[in-house]
Each structure stands twice: as C-alpha cells, then as structure tokens.
Structure 1
Amino acid sequence: MSRSLKKEAILNTAEALFYDHGFHAVGLKQIINESNVATMTLYNHFSSKEHLIEEILKNRESQYWSYLNSSVEEESHDPFLEIVEAHVKWLNDKGKKGCMFLRAIEEFNGTNNEIESIARNHKNKVLGHLRDLGQKKGYSNYEDIAFQIAVLLEGATSMAEIVGAQQAGNQALCMVETLLQAWRS
C-alpha cells in the first residue's frame, strides 16, 4: 500500500470510528488495528490524535462544501431550497448519525482550542454563507433568514439520528418551502 493510500486508510477508518463512537471513546491503537497500518505509519502522518482529528474535521468540512457548491447556483431563483436539498443529500450520504462538528464542540469544549475552533468556524462559515446569500438575493431581513435556515439545517441534522435522514430531510424541504413562501409575501 502506498504512503498516500495508507494515510487515506487512516483518515477513513478514524473518521468512521469517531463518527460512530465519539472522539474520546476511540484510541489510536484501535485506529491503527482497523486501518491495518503500523504505529509508525500513523505517526509519520499525524503527530497526535488531536492532529488526526483536526485533519478529519477539515476534510469533512471540505466534503460538505463540495455538496453545497455542486448543488447551489447563486443565481438560482431559490438558492435556499437548493442549499437544503444539498444538505439533505449530505445527511443521506454522510450525516445519518448527527453532526461530527457539534460532537467535536461537545467533546473538546474548553479543552482543545484548535479542534473546537475548527468545528465552531465551520458552523459560523455556514451561517455567514447563508447571510451573504440572503443579502445578495435582496432580502431586507437576510440576518433572520440566515438564522432560520441554519436552525432548519441543524434541526434536520439532529433529527436524522432520531427519525432517519430521509424523514428529517423531507421535513426540512417542506419547511424551507413554507419559509420561502412567507419571505416572498
């Protein structure tokens, strides 16, 4: 296995384990065993568990933005609908067990500034993107709209773990359509 494939195996295995069990519940030994790599291989790529988590969060954020950017046309008549649709696709593909960023904030709150910072920055970046989009679309209440869509996305993510991604996504789509009608009135 090449060096890059080994790193990818570590990242994929660690992401799945952290997502399924939490960051503190998974040790490096388990990641090494399930990745089928040597201890030194892991340390050649990541100097610590925290650095591994940081890279996983950065990669996950990049994947999330790929979903949004590939689905949302800013010149669209309803970019907020497209954002919710992209988020629902993300939930079905990658988010059936809740939000890894919120889990990072919960588990590292006040204990590791870089991990918590990456997670909080992701949430703030989403909110900022929604705010910018609302402003570009000419909504005078774009701040409120950004918060409402952010709450809708977070609620759908949270509920995906409880009722399933499909049902949570369907409800989120119904809600955004209702919101869009209200904003146009």
Structure 2
Amino acid sequence: MGRSVKKEAILQTAERLFYEHGFRGVGLKQITNEASVATMTIYNHFSSKENLVEEVLKQREERYWTYLDSHVEMNSDSPFILAVEAHGRWLKEQSYKGDMFLRAIEDYAGANNEIENIARGHKSRLLEYFQRLAQKKGKENETDLANQFTLLLEGTTSMTTLIGAEKATEHSIKMARTIVRHTL
C-alpha cells in the first residue's frame, strides 16, 4: 500500500514540475525533495529520469482521454462540438501553459524514442478518435474531418498560451460549428 502511494506522489510532483519548468529544467533531486521521498524510492519505482517522464506522459494521456470520454456523448447531435468543449475544459484546468506532449516531442526528438513515441502516439490517437467519430456519424469524408478537428484542437492549445483557454475555446467552438454545418 505505502509504495503505491509514494509512486503516486512522485508521479504527481514530477508532472507538476515538468509542466512548470520543462523536462530539462527539473532534476530528480528536486522531485524527491518536493515529493518528500528518498532518492532510493524513485529508483525503486523508475529505472531512470526518462522512464519517469514516460510514466508521467502515459498517466497524463489517460487523464486527457478520461476528460473527453466523460464529456462526449457519442450518440449526441454533435459529439464533435462536445469534444471541442471537453478539450477546452482540459486546457483550462490542466494545460494552461502549453502542451506537455508537444514539449516532449521537442525536448526528446531523436534522443529518446519511447518518450517521443508516447507523445506522438497521443497526437495520432486524437486523429483516430475523430475518424471514428466521423464514421459513427456516417460522414463520408472522415479523414478530412478528422484532420480539421485535430488541427482545430491543436490550434486551440497553441492559442491558449496567448489569449487564455476560455477565449481560445470560444473561437474553436464557433469554428467547430461551421465545420459541422458544412459537412452535414
């Protein structure tokens, strides 16, 4: 019991610190201090800092999909709009300072394939998600739609750092409605 609580504390602290200071800007020492665990405890759970980054990204991705899944009714009139709203809520509550997955791609490009794979996998999963949504709604141009909505969400994420999550989401919902209207 105690071990998993410590692992959880390490993951939470690491995610917060990585998010606020970047992957390169945070060492294991700072994580152990702020999580109030011994250095050995980190190595009991994670083989390296890279391994810890991998676990943080996997956990963050799971949380992202929980946000979408809990908010998007597949059978609603427009699951696309709901997905954009859910993404906006995620940005506001979890991702107000830019995208951790993109940062991982930038920081670890070519250096650590597993980290890069997890981060890139998150992006392709978004594309697949919208393709499935389009198929379910009987849309013929599902690839176009999936690309447009993925681009819309990525743009919303980028604009969040400039104008804030609420404004960025407001604009993206308007755009989403336009896309939906033109593809019916």
TM-score, normalised with respect to structure 2: 0.97
**Number of the residue aligned with 1:51:** 51
Amino acid corresponding to residue 59 of structure 2 in structure 1: N
Offset of residue 2 of structure 1:
2.5
> Which residue is 2:24 aligned to?
24
User: What is the rounded CA distance, in whole Å, between the counterparts of 2:97 and 2:171 in structure 1?
Assistant: 17
Distance 1:165 1:91 in 2: 6
Deviation at 1:122, TM superposition (A): 0.9
Structure 1 residues 115-165: Cα deviation after superposition (integer angstroms, max 9, x where no partner):
000011111011011111112211111111100100000011111111111
| Shift in Å, 1:24 | 1.0
C-alpha separation in 2, matches of 1:174 and 1:17: 34
Local SS of the residue matching 1:134: helix
**Which consecutive residues of structure 2, in runs of 5 or more, have no partner in the other structure?**
none
Code of the residue aligned with 1:46 in structure 2: it is: F
Render the CA deviation track for 1:35-85: whole Å, top value 9, x for unaligned. Answer: 111001111111100110110010001000101111112111101011101
How many residue pairs were aligned? 184
1:124-135 equivalences in 2 (<5 Å) = 124-135=124-135
Match of 2:81 in 1: 81
Q: Residue 15 of structure 1 corresponds to which residue in structure 2?
A: 15
Map 1:135-146 to 2 at 5 A.
135-146=135-146
Which residue identity is paired with 2:144? D
Residue number in structure 2 paired with 1:71: 71
Distance in 1 between residues matched to 2:32 and 2:167, nearest whole Å = 36
